[in-house]
């Protein structure tokens, strides 16, 4: 450093005073003019613009349904027509697409019936695909800034952005009506805000402190509202914030009260904002979708009856109180929608395993509405089955009999092993019900939600458990399917474990019996008509809580083999892709494949970083400090954010019992790519600082340059599989099959 003489010091002081006076004058004029400072990062802007152009290029091509556009397009169409639909993922991403589609004039009439079906001219394809495309482009500058916030150089951020820009999988996923681009963008935005907040630990309660924390909570929650897998990024960010607070606890200069206030402030923001955002998303969802549709059968009868049309047109206006003489259908409340059913057929004398049965009338759970689903509620001490005046209402704890409406046989259970669930008791209709064994036909009504609906058994609203009096076991839907002799309907049993979802039922359709004669009652059941009325009212909280339960615990996807499904072990080395679409006239196709050079290099980067981390940790344990403090801090930031981010987004898939595809790996892949760029900078700094020969650094830079050219060439070669606009010959397709496990679609009769 150069010494400053006394005259220079005096000059600096004068300049300082002059500057202070100038700042005071500017503050006085602050109320007269508002100054806005905008900083543009040329690298970030370039990444965004190039990424946007790549995604908007021929965005309307192919003009056919591509992969999961089949599902998400249907959901958008249902938003247009306000028809309720059920999806196991939250609706925010679909809402964004639907909002743009609405502004573009989409009417929702197109059915999205099958992959490959052509879009008619009335469907605004560009608008439907616009939100994912913009999200995919915005992902690039956000990833760039995440790298900068971790303490790396702009060139490293640009390198990470280049890797993501040249990844064919991200390009493909961003060009169609798919949710991953919004999920990735919101997740990285949340992480970026957390990293910016972490730098403000010395400025608690400042405007920026509150702003970045609030934005982090908002973006992370919106990511969860696109897909629940966004909760993995949320967990990562919460771990980062907890570690940051752990560092604060080690600051002896902070009193305990200040630490508690900081903890309370963070906790309030991280509870209040996510709760408000999550509820707001579902409030919009449930407010818009108020019409019945094909998906509402998975919901309870009360939920269905709250929607306009559908069940509401059948059940509204029906009697509310279930009484002696009521004709009812009993619906299994949770899981697969089905109704308690019986028919004029008996259990086989012996089952395939040689066990004997009661050979009584079968009782099943049937997944379709049918006249054989009707039962008549009867008090044991009354012989008639007609509703009297005043109504003899059934209450919680009352003992009843259920008589099948068509066959007039009573619901029965006894100490006989069930057909498919031998650890449970069989349920049947006793053929000789009018003669004896009345004790085995008795059921006690237990209203589960008595505190909400009252002691009287109500149609639709009351959730009941029917407990067999003689054996103290509850009527249960077992979920097992009966063989041919049971017409492939579902098994009903009784179970000694009373408290479980599968023992809960509710009355869906309800009438009062008027006829004494059996034949007249049958005519009532077959020919009765209900007058369509308006929907039953149900509060937002009732609908919200039921929908959450169904989304979290109703598994509507069966695990099955799929030609393009893959295991997590296959993802890091890009063993298998996914066919999204193929032309009917040529070999032009859309196939999800990443840039194999980027993916393999990133996987190697994870290995190299992990080995360096173990090596440095062991060396530092031996008091050998190989890295200067700034380089060690930078290296550790990778292990605090990027490596855990990769593992958190990758390892949970090994525990998932569902069909998995390559696109499930994309969140982990983004973290892996960022880790690769950071590791490259670390290795470069090691070479520059520890090897005196300047030529080594030059050679390393040349290797990196050649490597980037290869990545660009591979990206360019496989772009035809991202756009699907190029007609390929057989040789073209074969030249793209770099691995035997890449099942590219090939029409061999096409010659170009």
How many angstroms separate the most distant Cα atoms in the chain? Answer: 121
**pLDDT given at position 17:** 41
Distance CA 331, CA 301 (A): 8
**pLDDT given at position 336:** 72
pTM of the model: 0.82
HSE toward the beta carbon, residue 476, CA cutoff 13 A: 23
pLDDT in tens, 685-726: 888 877 766 677 788 889 999 999 999 999 999 999 999 999
pLDDT in tens, 227-272: 999 999 999 999 999 999 998 888 888 888 888 999 999 999 999 9
pLDDT above 70: residue 316: no
**Tokens for 494?**
């009784």
pLDDT in tens, 320-374: 899 999 999 999 887 678 899 999 899 999 888 888 888 899 999 998 888 999 9
CA dihedral of 634, 639, 641, 645, whole degrees rounded to 10: 150
Distance CA 324, CA 378 (A): 5
What are the φ/ψ torsions at residue 45 (nearest 5 degrees)?
Answer: -65, -40
Distance CA 254, CA 576 (A): 54
The residues, ordered by sequence, that sit 6+ positions from 476 with a Cβ below 8 Å of its Cβ are 424, 492, 493, 494, 495, 500, 502, 503
Reference 660, options 570, 582, 565; nearest CA is: 565
**pLDDT given at position 748:** 61
Residue that has been written with the tokens 């005196």 in this structure: 692
Pairing verdict, β 410-417 and 425-430: antiparallel
* Domains of the chain listed by start with CATH number: 48-284+591-723 (no CATH), 318-530 (2.80.10.50)
The secondary element (H helix, E strand) that includes residue 466 is: strand 464-468
What are the φ/ψ torsions at residue 233 (nearest 5 degrees)?
Answer: -65, -40
**pLDDT given at position 328:** 92
């Amino acid at each position: 450093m150069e010494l400053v003489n006394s005259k220079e010091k005096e000059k600096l002081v004068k300049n300082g005073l002059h500057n202070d006076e100038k700042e005071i004058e500017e503050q006085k004029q602050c109320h007269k003019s508002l100054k806005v400072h905008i900083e543009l990062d040329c690298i970030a802007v370039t990444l965004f613009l190039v990424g946007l152009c790549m995604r908007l290029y021929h965005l309307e091509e192919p003009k056919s349904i591509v992969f999961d556009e089949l599902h998400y397009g249907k959901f958008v169409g249902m938003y247009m027509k306000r028809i309720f639909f059920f999806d196991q993922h939250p609706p925010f991403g679909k809402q964004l697409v639907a909002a743009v589609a609405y502004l573009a004039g989409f009417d929702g009439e197109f059915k999205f019936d099958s992959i490959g079906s052509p879009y008619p001219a009335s469907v605004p394809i560009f608008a439907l695909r616009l939100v994912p495309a913009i999200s995919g482009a915005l992902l690039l500058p956000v990833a760039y800034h995440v790298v900068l916030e971790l303490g790396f150089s702009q060139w490293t951020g640009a390198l990470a952005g280049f890797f993501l820009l040249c990844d064919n999988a991200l390009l493909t996923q961003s060009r169609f009506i798919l949710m991953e681009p919004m999920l990735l963008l919101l997740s990285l935005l949340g992480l970026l805000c957390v990293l910016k907040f972490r730098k403000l630990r010395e400025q608690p309660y400042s405007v920026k402190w509150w702003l970045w924390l609030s934005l982090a909570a908002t973006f992370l929650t919106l990511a969860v509202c696109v897909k629940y897998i966004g909760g993995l990024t949320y967990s990562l960010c919460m771990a980062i914030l907890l570690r940051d607070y752990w560092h604060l606890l080690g600051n002896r200069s902070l009193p305990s009260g200040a630490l508690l206030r900081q903890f309370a402030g963070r906790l309030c923001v991280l509870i209040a904002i996510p709760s408000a955002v999550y509820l707001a998303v579902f409030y919009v969802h449930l407010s818009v979708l108020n019409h019945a549709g094909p998906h509402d059968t998975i919901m309870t009868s009360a939920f269905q009856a709250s929607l306009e049309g559908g069940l509401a047109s059948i059940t509204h206006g029906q009697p509310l109180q279930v009484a002696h003489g009521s004709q009812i259908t009993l619906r299994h409340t949770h899981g697969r929608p089905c109704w308690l059913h019986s028919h004029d057929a008996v259990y086989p004398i012996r089952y395939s395993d040689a066990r004997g049965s009661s050979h009584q009338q079968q009782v099943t759970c049937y997944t379709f509405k049918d006249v054989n689903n009707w039962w008549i509620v009867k008090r044991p001490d009354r012989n008639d089955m007609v509703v009297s005046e005043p109504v003899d209402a059934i209450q919680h704890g009352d003992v009843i009999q259920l008589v099948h409406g068509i066959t007039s046989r009573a619901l029965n259970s006894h100490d006989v092993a069930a057909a498919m669930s031998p650890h449970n008791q069989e349920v049947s209709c006793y053929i000789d019900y009018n003669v004896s064994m009345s004790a085995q036909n008795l059921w006690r009504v237990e209203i589960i939600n008595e505190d909400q609906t009252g002691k009287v058994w109500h149609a639709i609203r009351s959730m009941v458990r029917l407990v067999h009096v003689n054996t103290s076991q509850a009527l249960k839907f077992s979920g097992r399917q009966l063989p041919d002799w049971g017409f492939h309907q579902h098994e009903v049993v009784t179970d000694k474990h009373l408290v479980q979802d599968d023992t809960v039922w509710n009355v869906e359709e309800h009438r009062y019996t008027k006829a004494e004669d059996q034949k007249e009652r049958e005519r009532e059941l077959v020919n009765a008509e209900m007058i369509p009325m308006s929907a039953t009212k149900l509060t937002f909280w009732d609908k919200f809580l039921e929908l959450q339960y169904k989304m979290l615990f109703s598994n509507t996807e069966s695990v099955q083999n799929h030609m393009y499904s893959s295991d997590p072990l296959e993802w890091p080395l890009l063993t298998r892709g996914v066919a999204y679409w193929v032309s009917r006239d040529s070999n032009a196709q859309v196939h999800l494949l990443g840039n194999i050079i980027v993916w393999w290099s990133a996987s190697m980067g994870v290995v190299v970083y992990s080995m360096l981390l173990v090596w440095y940790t062991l060396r530092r344990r031996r008091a050998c400090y190989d890295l200067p403090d700034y380089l060690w801090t930078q290296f550790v930031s990778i292990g605090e954010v990027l490596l855990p981010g990769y593992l958190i987004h990758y390892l949970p898939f090994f525990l998932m019992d569902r069909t998995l595809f390559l696109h499930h790996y994309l969140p982990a892949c983004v973290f892996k790519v960022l880790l690769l760029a950071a590791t490259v900078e670390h290795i470069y700094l090691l070479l520059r600082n520890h090897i005196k020969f300047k030529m080594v650094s030059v050679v390393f830079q040349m290797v990196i340059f050649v490597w980037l050219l290869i990545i660009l060439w591979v990206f360019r070669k496989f772009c035809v599989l991202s756009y699907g606009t190029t007609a390929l010959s057989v040789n073209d397709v074969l030249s793209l099959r770099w691995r035997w496990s890449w099942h590219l679609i090939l029409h061999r009769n096409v010659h170009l």
